[in-house]
Structure 1
Amino acid sequence: MTWILVWGALAGAGVWLLISRSPAFGATAASELARLDAQRRRGAPRAVRVDDGESKSERLGSRVATALADRGIELPGSIRSDLAVMNRSVESHLGSTLVAAIVGAFAPAIALGPLMFFGIVSPTLPMWLAIVGALGGAAIGQLQLHSEANDRRRDFRHVVSAFLDLVSMNLAGGRGVPEALSAAAGVSEGWGMVRLRQTIENARLQGITPWNALGRLGDEMKVEELRDLAAALALVAEDGAKVRDSLTARAASMRQRELADSESRAQERSQSMLVAQLLLAAGFLVFLIFPALSGIAGL
């Protein structure tokens, strides 16, 4: 049974390599159009890519990303938004995910190697565990990325609320909307303010309005407050008084929402601590009662 599984896996790998390397299967009209669109969005052809400063995992991820782009396959929007929040490239994420899957695949075989050598464990068990470990390693990477992105997105919402107050103050000082946005984004060197400042500066170089650039950043990072801010600025950009009132109201609403979110998370943590305390108390009671019960039962 073991050799059947091994030869079947080798035959499947050979068929996959044959199909992936064959021009008849590797390139279709849809995949070629998708590849050209992906290259146009990246703004540079693959031939000018420089890999000197990349790690091995990033080079491996760039190859995987190129293979996926050639076939018109893109990552889901949720993963791309998380990568945008974490300021990571698709290549580095694919490389780290692939490395985690490889480690998860070989970890069961390494752990159970002595047992297989002495014949205690069947060789088929590590093969199935390798599949589970590979899937688990890739899934853990995705879950970690999503968790870190949610925390970073929450911090960015706090930065946006402070940014709205600063813009309102600059508007009250007589500045226009573009100047107020630039001045408000230049008061801090935190990663959130730096991201906003770079977006506003790039908008000036590209010849688009700052609120349109902020709206694109909100779409890229999946931050609804930033998209709402861009829509509001686009509607009332010509009237400074309305802009100030709108920004002040939005900043107050965001702070109230953040306060409610912080209170709910604090309640969840307090409940989890209560459960942990109850478990500790139950264990202590068992520790106290067990000697008396064992004496009565004659154990």
Structure 2
Amino acid sequence: MDAILLGAGVGMGLVLIVFGLWPARPPLLTAIANIYRTPSAPASRRRRIEEALASPLTRFGLPRRATMADLAVCERDPIAYLGSLAGLAVMALLAPAATVAVMNLMGAGIALTVPIWLGVALAAVAVWITEASLKGKAEQRRLLMRHTLAALLDIVPPALAAGAGVEQALMDSTRISSGWAARRIRHALATARTTRTPLWQALGDLGRETGVVQLEQLAATLQLASGEGTRIRAALTQRGHALSERLAAELEARAESASERMSIPLMLLTSVFLLFLIYPGIAGLQP
């Protein structure tokens, strides 16, 4: 068994070395674009390490589309994320074997089979925890984006009724707002104004990039109601009410879930307390 695991490790190492020494050829369009691209500053040592660790993973199609959306909403670099993920997995994989090797040098005589499997389990757990942490942070940011969007939709219809245009009303509402979500929406609107693209297209791109469906729905509403001020105002008002009701229902569901999670420790504590009360009586009945 040790020989099979050792052979698998050596084979994986040889495959990674071959991929590193003879990388795949880039597409022709990418090669031509690199010729005319402005030279960038030399990468730092940390960046080169991250790229080296992430290169084998990118060839397998990582990160996935859902992970890319989570990275976009968290404003994290995919290469840096893959590099840190690979480094963490390698350290978790090698930590048990290295510990056993040191103990064997001291005369313990422990077989390497268990540490290898333990390292594989630790690496899987490390990857799962990293992915879960990223997903949790991304969901928190999406919730913040939805709350910010609901607040903006409460401000925009009165501005439209006062005679402002859709673009001006949206820009003014984002200027008086603060936070990450308002900044991203403001940047998308400013980019649309600079590039002279429709507002709904910029908001739709932002929604697809970050995974916030409500932005895509707002973009579809603006596209369908474009050109009619009264219709746009009514559509935005309806969209804001629907989003606010959904957020209220979501917050209520979160509160109920938190209450249920809080009741579990109380039930365990009550069970232990009852056990302590009952135990003296049961012990006294024994001969």
Which of 149, 154, 158 is the aligned partner of 1:165?
A: 154
1:212 aligns with 2:201: yes
Gaps of 5+ in 2: none
Answering whether residue 100 of structure 2 is matched by residue 106 of structure 1, we say: no
Equivalent residue, structure 1, for 2:6: 6
Q: Contact 2:54–2:79 at 8 Å: present in 1 too?
A: yes
- Give 2:196's aligned amino acid: G
Matched, 1:82 2:77: no
Match 1:244 to one of 207, 214, 233: 233
The residue type paired with residue 140 of structure 2 is D
Contact 1:100–1:141 (CA<8 Å) still a contact in 2?
no
CA displacement, residues 193-228 of structure 1 (integer Å, 9 cap, x when unaligned): 111111111112222122210110011111111111
After TM superposition, what 4+ stretches of structure 1 lie above 6 angstroms from structure 2? none
Greater CA drift, 154-163 or 232-241:
232-241
The one-letter code sitting in structure 1 at the alignment partner of 2:169 is A
Kindly provide the CA deviation profile for residues 42-65 of structure 1, in whole angstroms up to 9, marking residues without a partner as x. 9x959625434xx72x44333345
Query: Within 1, Cα distance between the matches of 2:286 and 2:87?
Result: 55
SS for the counterpart of 1:238 is: coil
Q: Contact conserved, 2:207 with 2:216, CA < 8 A, in 1?
A: yes
Aligned to 1:232: 221
Which of the residues 236, 256, 276 maps onto 2:265? Answer: 276
RMSD: 2.9
- Tell me the alpha carbon deviations over residues 11-58 of structure 1, each in whole angstroms, 9 at most, x when there is no partner: 4412442355336xx34xxx636x839x97x9x959625434xx72x4
Distance in 2 (alpha carbons) for counterparts of 1:288 and 1:169: 64
Please state if 1:155 is matched with 2:149.
Answer: no
Provide the TM-score with structure 2 as the length reference. Answer: 0.87
**CA distance in structure 2 between the partners assigned to 1:8 and 1:239 by the alignment:** 66
How far apart are residue 120 of structure 1 and its match? 7.0
Deviations 1:205-262 (A, max 9, x none): 2221222101100111111111111111112221111111111111111111111111
**In structure 1, how many angstroms separate the alpha carbons of the residues matched to 2:62 and 2:121?**
24
Q: CA deviation at 1:166?
A: 1.8
Q: Are 1:139 and 2:128 an aligned pair? A: yes
After TM superposition, give the deviation of residue 121 of structure 1 in Å.
Answer: 4.2
Deviates more, 1:248-257 or 1:87-96: 87-96
Q: How many residues align?
A: 285
Instruction: Report deviation, 1:187.
Output: 0.7
> Does the CA-based 8 Å contact 1:232-1:246 persist in structure 2?
yes
* Conserved? CA contact 2:154–2:240, under 8 Å: yes
TM-score using structure 1 length: 0.83
Q: Is the 8 A contact 1:104 1:130 kept in 2?
A: yes
Of 205, 210, 229, 1:221 maps to 210
Deviation string for 1:128-178 (max 9, x for gaps)? 111111122112111110111111111110101111122212212211111
On the 8 A contact 1:215/1:227 being kept in 2, the answer is yes
- Whole-Å Cα distance in 2 between the matches of residues 258 and 50 of structure 1? 46
Q: Secondary structure at the match of 1:237?
A: coil
SS of the residue aligned with 1:48?
A: coil
Give matches, 1:57-76, under 5 Å.
58-65=47-54, 71=59, 73-76=61-64
| Secondary structure of 1:104's aligned partner | helix
Distance 2:262 2:100 in 1: 37
Seen in structure 2, the aligned counterparts of structure 1 residues 249 and 45 have a Cα distance that, compared at 3 Å, is: same
Q: Give the distance between the partners of 2:38 and 2:280, measured in 1 at CA.
A: 72
142 and 294 in structure 1: CA distance in 2 versus 1, 3 angstrom threshold: same
- What runs of 5+ residues in structure 1 fail to find an aligned partner? none
In structure 1, which of residues 282, 288, 293 is the aligned counterpart of residue 277 of structure 2?
288
Query: How many angstroms apart in 2 are the aligned matches of 1:294 and 1:278?
Result: 24
What is the DSSP-based 3-state SS (H/G/I as helix, E as strand, rest coil) of the residue aligned with 2:88?
A: helix
The structure-2 alpha-carbon separation of the partners of 1:289 and 1:122, relative to structure 1 and needing over 3 Å to count, comes to farther
Q: Which residue in the other structure is 1:263 paired with? A: 252
Structure 1 window deviating more from structure 2 (208-217 vs 107-116): it is 107-116
2:89–2:127 CA contact under 8 A, matched in 1: yes
